[in-house]
Amino acid sequence: MPELPEAETLVRGLRPALVGRSIVQARVHKPDILRVRPRRFRDRVRGRRIEAVGRRAKNVVLLLDDGVIVINLGMTGWLAPLGLGPHDPPRPTHPAVTFRLDTGRLVFDDVRRFGCVEALDPGEWAERDATFGPEPLTDAFTPDDLFERLHRSRSPVRSWLLDQRKVAGVGNIYACEACFRAGIHPARRGVTVTRDEATALHAGIRGVLGAAVEAGGTTIRDYRNADGASGEFVHRLDVYGREEQPCHRCDDAVERIVFGNRSAFFCPSCQPMIDDAAWAARAS
């Protein structure tokens, strides 16, 4: 569920509550949320101090005085700071890991348990960090770079955008929205995207992610920020979840198709399909 804007919103809410706190002990309620045995995990985090709270791709990153906790929220994961501010968020319903702090506690709550909590040493974290593509809201992400790499791929653009090694933090909602903003059919092969279209896609990705961060993310069903509040960007989506509703640009009906086992939403008029044959004809 959470993509870059949702993880970023959560991080911004957690930061003031968590920086400077120490982890007294961790309790693992659902061991399948870890990648190591619970005992090993507990040993790695016990007694550590939280120096900083950040985000990389869709992950919440707790920088410790010795090591790093990386939390992948999966589809339904969120972090509840309890006893750390004036108001508590709603009570977690499916706690997977609880960090008992010197003051209060932090609960990783995850209904579907697709999330993952890891305790890495600095070297392991550097390795992991290097597997992610550029952060789309930083200068490391440029239109030229996007074009050069996308143009070499035969993947559908939507699928390419979901690959965290290509661009960090983009998920299904914002991939669909960015394609709409750029006028690119989500199933078009990367190789068919022109330099101008890649520039528009770059602007679309940045625009939609930036606006969604400002709006506190998108709540379709489960997403909650650190206060337990919903994300308001759901009201500003152009195509995602809007099957059969009028396109905000041309009034035609938004369509839904499935590929890569996931729904893609698009406007058939604003985002015409260009397949290999059409691409060949256009190139000649």
Residue closer to DNA by CB (options 23, 133) is: 133
Binding DNA (rule: CB under 7 A), the pick from 159, 181, 188, 208 is: 159
Taking the complex as a whole, the smallest distance from the CB of residue 143 to DNA amounts, in Å, to 20
262 is catalytic: yes
The beta-strand segments (E) located in 32-115 are: 50-56, 59-64, 67-72, 77-82, 95-101, 105-110
Residue closer to DNA by CB (options 131, 138) is: 131
2 is catalytic: yes
Beta-carbon contacts of 90 under 8 Å, excluding residues fewer than 6 positions away, are 80, 224, 228
Task: Dig out the tokens for 114 from the structure.
Answer: 């697709």
Q: Is 191 in contact with 279 (CB distance < 8 Å)?
A: yes
16 is catalytic: no
CA distance 248 to 268: 12
Task: Dig out the tokens for 156 from the structure.
Answer: 């559908």
Binding DNA (rule: CB under 7 A), the pick from 123, 221, 244, 251 is: 221
State the DSSP code for 36. Answer: S
Question: Which residues inside 47-86 make contact with DNA, applying CB under 7 A?
Answer: 57-59, 72, 74-75
Question: Which residues inside 177-216 make contact with DNA, applying CB under 7 A?
Answer: 190
Taking the complex as a whole, the smallest distance from the CB of residue 109 to DNA amounts, in Å, to 12
Q: Hey, how many other C-beta atoms are within 10 angstroms of the C-beta on 183?
A: 17
Size of the site for DNA (CB under 7 A): 42
Taking the complex as a whole, the smallest distance from the CB of residue 101 to DNA amounts, in Å, to 26
The single residue of 21, 58, 181, 189 carrying the catalytic annotation is 58
Q: Hey, how many other C-beta atoms are within 10 angstroms of the C-beta on 171?
A: 22
Residue closer to DNA by CB (options 51, 129) is: 129
Task: Convert residues 30-49 into a mask of x (bound to DNA by CB under 7 A) and - (unbound).
Answer: --x-----------------
Task: Dig out the tokens for 256 from the structure.
Answer: 């839904």
Binding DNA (rule: CB under 7 A), the pick from 98, 217, 239, 254 is: 217
CA distance 152 to 190: 7
Q: What are phi and psi of 256, to 5 degrees?
A: -120, 130
90 is catalytic: no
Distance from the Cα of residue 9 to its chain's centroid: 11
Using CB under 7 A, which of the segments 14-22, 148-156, 178-186, 271-279 binds DNA? 148-156
* Beta bridge partners of residue 39, listed in sequence order: none
Binding site residues, DNA, CB under 7 A: 1-3, 6, 32, 57-59, 72, 74-75, 94, 111-114, 153-156, 159-160, 162, 164, 171-173, 190, 217-223, 231, 258-263
Catalytic residue set: 2-3, 58, 262
